[in-house]
Amino acid sequence: MTDAKTRIDETVKANDVVLYMKGTKSMPQCGFSSRVAGVLNYMGVDYTDVNVLADDEIRQGIKEYSDWPTIPQLYVKGEFVGGCDIITEMTLSGELDGLFDQNGVTYDKDAADKIRAANA
């Protein structure tokens, strides 16, 4: 598992935003991954997607790396942010915008506002 942990650590630290998910950003393969990828895609966030279904070591390793039992998992600037429920709540509260602003991550503020308006 050390190899998987090293690969995860390198990926998370080399990219500003990383989503470990089932499937890819263009073809999610579970509803939770689809929701988080959909939010990031709609907001125009440039992020790296890692398909855990393509690598069993990564699929198990990411759970141990974050000490979080579920996938998807979002990382911003090397820090674990959360899974689907947390990202959904952060999006609706505006907290995700603040996290992106704080870390210099480019996103479409109008799109974020539209998500909130549609869910109000």
User: Which positions make up the binding site for [2Fe-2S] cluster?
Assistant: 30
- Binding-site residue positions: 30
DSSP summary character for residue 23: B
At residue 109, what are phi and psi to the nearest 5 degrees? -60, -40
DSSP summary character for residue 70: S
Rounded CA separation 43/9 (Å): 25
Are 18 and 47 contacting, i.e. CB atoms less than 8 angstroms apart? yes
Are 34 and 88 contacting, i.e. CB atoms less than 8 angstroms apart? no
